[in-house]
Amino acid sequence: MAVTCMSDNIGSGCAELEPYALRVTDDSMAPEFWEGCIIIIEPRHSAQSGQYAVVDYANDTTFRLFVEEGGRQYLKPLNENYAAVEITGPFTVRGIVIQRAGTRRKHHKHYEYA
């Protein structure tokens, strides 16, 4: 698992449709997202190829780059020490990353998708 929930409200009531924060728990998405940084997830959008997404797949919740290539779908880490995973069964997109926050202002970044 690459993320930890920052709120007890995930999955209950109106919070399911509101952005929420997760803390990155490993270096699989480094250097863009380092261990310990906070990401803001927008749950109202499904992932498109090339977007950072939080996905439930194979009994795990994973934060990865969602990629579609040649009719196949993958969850790809940015750190080459981790393997990409081909999605071959049912999965649920929990949301896409719209912001990264860190301890310094220079670490904050917004992700805009067309």
- The percent helix, strand, coil of the chain (3-state, each to 5) is 5, 45, 50
Side-chain-side CA neighbours of residue 55 (13 Å): 24
Which CATH number fits the domain that encloses residue 77?
2.10.109.10
How do residues 34-49 score in pLDDT, each as one tens digit?
999 999 999 988 899 9
d(CA 71, CA 12): 34
Stretch (H or E) spanning 66: strand 60-69
How do residues 5-28 score in pLDDT, each as one tens digit?
555 444 444 456 899 999 999 999
Across all residues in the chain, what is the average pLDDT? 85
How many independent structural domains does the chain possess?
Answer: 1
pTM: 0.80
Q: Which domain holds residue 88?
A: 3-110
How do residues 51-70 score in pLDDT, each as one tens digit?
999 999 999 999 999 999 99
